[in-house]
Amino acid sequence: MAMMLLRDVRLVPLAARRSGRWGGAVPPAPVPAEPVDVLVRDGLVVDVGPGLRPGVLAPTIDAAGRWLVPGLWDQHVHLGQWTVTAARLDLSGARSAEEAVRMVAERIADGPEGAVIGWGHRSAHWPDEPLVPLLDAVAPHTPVILISGDAHHAWMNTTALMWLALPVREAVVREAEWFRAYGRLMTMFGDDSTSPAAYRRTMEAAAERGVVGLVDFEFGGGFGDWTDRYDGGADLLRVRAATYADGLEDAIGAGLRTGDPLEGCDGMVTMGPLKIISDGSLNTRTAWCCAPYADAHRLEYPAGQPNLDYGELRALLARADGHGLEVATHAIGDAAVEAALRAYAETGAAGAIEHAQLVARADVRRMAELGLRASVQPAHLLDDRDLTERVWPDRTEGCFAWRWFADAGVDLRFGSDAPVAPLDPWLAMAAAVHRSADDRPVWHPEHTLTPAEALAASVDGLGTVAPGHPADLVLLDTDPLALGPAEGAPMVDEGGEVTWDTAAAAAALRDMPVALTMVGGRVVHPV
């Protein structure tokens, strides 16, 4: 028996989350005022209480009164892209196409080997358009691929377009055409950027922040690559490996259902959902909306557009559900959310709406009725607040509307969409608590969540640590709920302002010190 005793821990009270048609929060049971011991055996928590004596000699960790929570999950990661981000040109600070081109020219002048791969620009804010000839002027021979911060388009020069077998054009490559090309792009990196060792380094960094599990939505490859990757040492964290439509039949042919362990991964990597990207993004202005964007005169599709027609969407949900696969449907605009919910209702498929960035309140209630999860990325608010005000000024009350989800009983699950936002669950929680990235007041304070609600959305549905839980545990040096509102106190006053110090609570969450991370009873941080 593999045993371990955590002695002298303080339990953090958390509501568990139930998915399905009878989902919602399960209020936390009262926790002891004094520290307790937690006994772990064979990867599970088997006992919780004061003065535990395991009966056999077991390794013991003295927690010295630290706070214990279930391990954190990031429910939406593009793990390969996040792993190679360090090797890419950071364009997140570019304020115009002209500035981005200058940064590319500087990188080329430094003499890089192979292509210049950039990441992070947000051209919706720029005064000028990202056009192919601008890059051709500074890089006539070196392939240049600049991936937008929302990952929904790439700005390339002609050499890169030809290298990736794409038609030559002046504009950026968007949506489905870009997603298909990304798999070819990954072959441009050296082994070190995408090797199992590189993945392990990414996992080590995540474990330092208390992460025990990830849902991997990487483009290309997919679940089939994980056996070799795990065997090569990328075995530190739990992974749910999704597939896209082009890999759906392979998953069905292999007899894989959501939750099934993948061969050779010791139960640490399991089959995830089918991922469908049903519409675009805000930055690329391809998210599908019920009403036109405020700058519709600049757009080919004034209200955005779906990436596949309704018949295709419905057929994919039915096919996946018929073979035991959940479905994670990317839907950012309110029209995309409505269409996705209709397809879930007609097929009976289970799973999640990913992003749900703009929603109608009636559709939030519909999500609750259907038992669907809302897999959301709070840190996106920090990047998208100003653009939302500019292009969706008449509908901001339905943007990042987490309070609607919480009050309706929808199962909220937090993620990062890394590399769109950093793989850091504490940053996500802070954004949900204090909806501002600067000194401006909280944006739409009526949607603020408490630290307890934000933490509950980050632990894969588990509540307060209890017997029967997986031994995926995190010890914290400080109480993560210490700066939340008083129990029973109103969240906002009659004037709509928050009644407690969300900024202080968010700062404490962002800087949360993680003392220990355990996965399956094995300490993965510190190592």
Residue 49 lies in a domain: yes
Domain of 35: which CATH number? 2.30.40.10
**pLDDT (tens digit, 9 = 90+) per residue, 456-506?**
999 999 999 999 999 999 999 999 999 999 777 788 888 888 899 999 999
Residue 486 lies in a domain: no
pLDDT of 24? 67
Domain boundary among 188, 205, 230: 188
Domain of 184: which CATH number? 3.10.310.70
Whether 166 and 238 share a structural domain: no
Q: Which of 166-180, 201-215, 225-239, 492-506 has the lowest mean pLDDT?
A: 492-506
Distance of CA 133 to the CA centre of its chain: 34
100 class by beta-carbon count within 10 Å (0-12 exposed, 13-18 middle, 19+ buried): buried
Residue 488 lies in a domain: no
**pLDDT (tens digit, 9 = 90+) per residue, 390-427?**
999 999 999 999 999 999 999 999 999 999 999 999 99
Residue 222 lies in a domain: yes
Residue 34 lies in domain = 3-70
Residue 467 lies in a domain: no
On the question of pLDDT at 444 being above 70, the answer is yes
Pairwise CA distance, residues 407 & 354, whole Å: 19
**Where does the pLDDT of residue 113 fall: very low under 50, low under 70, confident under 90, or very high at 90 and above?**
low
Whether 454 and 359 share a structural domain: yes
pLDDT of 188? 62
Q: What is the DSSP string of 224-284?
A: GGHHHHHHTT--SSEEEEEE-HHHHHHHHHTT--TTPBPTTSTTSEEEEEEEEE-B--TTT
Domain boundary among 149, 169, 188: 188
Pairwise CA distance, residues 350 & 257, whole Å: 12
Pairwise CA distance, residues 41 & 520, whole Å: 9
Domain boundary among 166, 188, 210: 188
Query: Position of tokens 């509540």?
Result: 463
Number of domain units in the chain = 3
Tokens of 393: 């000024």
**Where does the pLDDT of residue 293 fall: very low under 50, low under 70, confident under 90, or very high at 90 and above?**
very high
Whether 232 and 302 share a structural domain: yes
Identify the DSSP state of 261. Answer: B
SS3 state of residue 174:
strand
Whether 56 and 128 share a structural domain: no
pLDDT of 30? 85
Whether 279 and 363 share a structural domain: yes
Q: Assess whether the previous peptide bond of 526 is cis (omega < 30° from 0).
A: yes
**Where does the pLDDT of residue 192 fall: very low under 50, low under 70, confident under 90, or very high at 90 and above?**
low
Whether 260 and 392 share a structural domain: yes
Whether 100 and 45 share a structural domain: no
What are the C-alpha distances in Å from 487 to residues 31, 444, 506? 15, 22, 18
Whether 171 and 225 share a structural domain: no
The fraction of the chain above a pLDDT of 70, given in percent, is: 97
Residue 432 lies in a domain: yes
Whether 131 and 246 share a structural domain: no
Whether 404 and 329 share a structural domain: yes
pLDDT of 23? 62
Whether 318 and 361 share a structural domain: yes
Stretch 302-316: mean pLDDT, rounded? 97
Whether residue 262 contacts residue 222, with contact meaning beta carbons closer than 8 Å, is answered with no
Whether 21 and 167 share a structural domain: no
Average pLDDT of the residues of the chain: 94
Neighbours of 233 (CB within 10 A): 14
On the question of pLDDT at 44 being above 60, the answer is yes
Stretch 313-327: mean pLDDT, rounded? 98
Residue 121 lies in a domain: yes
Pairwise CA distance, residues 420 & 92, whole Å: 10
State the DSSP H helix or E strand holding residue 25, giving kind and residue range, or none if neither: strand 24-26
pLDDT of 27? 78
Residue 499 lies in a domain: no
Pairwise CA distance, residues 458 & 523, whole Å: 20
Q: Which of 7-11, 114-118, 302-306, 362-366 has the lowest mean pLDDT?
A: 114-118
On the question of pLDDT at 20 being above 70, the answer is no
Tokens of 123: 């051209």
The fraction of the chain above a pLDDT of 90, given in percent, is: 85
